[in-house]
Amino acid sequence: GGSGSREAVERLVRAHPVVVFMKGSPAQPLCGFSNAVVQILRLHGVEDYRAHDVLQDPDLRQGIKNYSNWPTIPQVYLNGEFVGGCDILLQMHQNGDLVEELKKLGIRSALLDAEKDQDKK
- The answer to whether the beta carbons of residues 71 and 63 sit under 8 Å apart is no
Of 33, 99, 97, 112, the C-alpha closest to 21 is: 33
Between CA 43 and CA 107 the distance in angstroms is 13
Q: Which residues contact 59 (CB under 8 A, 6 or more apart)?
A: 2, 3, 4
Q: Find out whether 86 is annotated in a ligand binding site.
A: no
| Annotation: binding site | 31
Q: Which residues are annotated as a binding site for [2Fe-2S] cluster?
A: 31
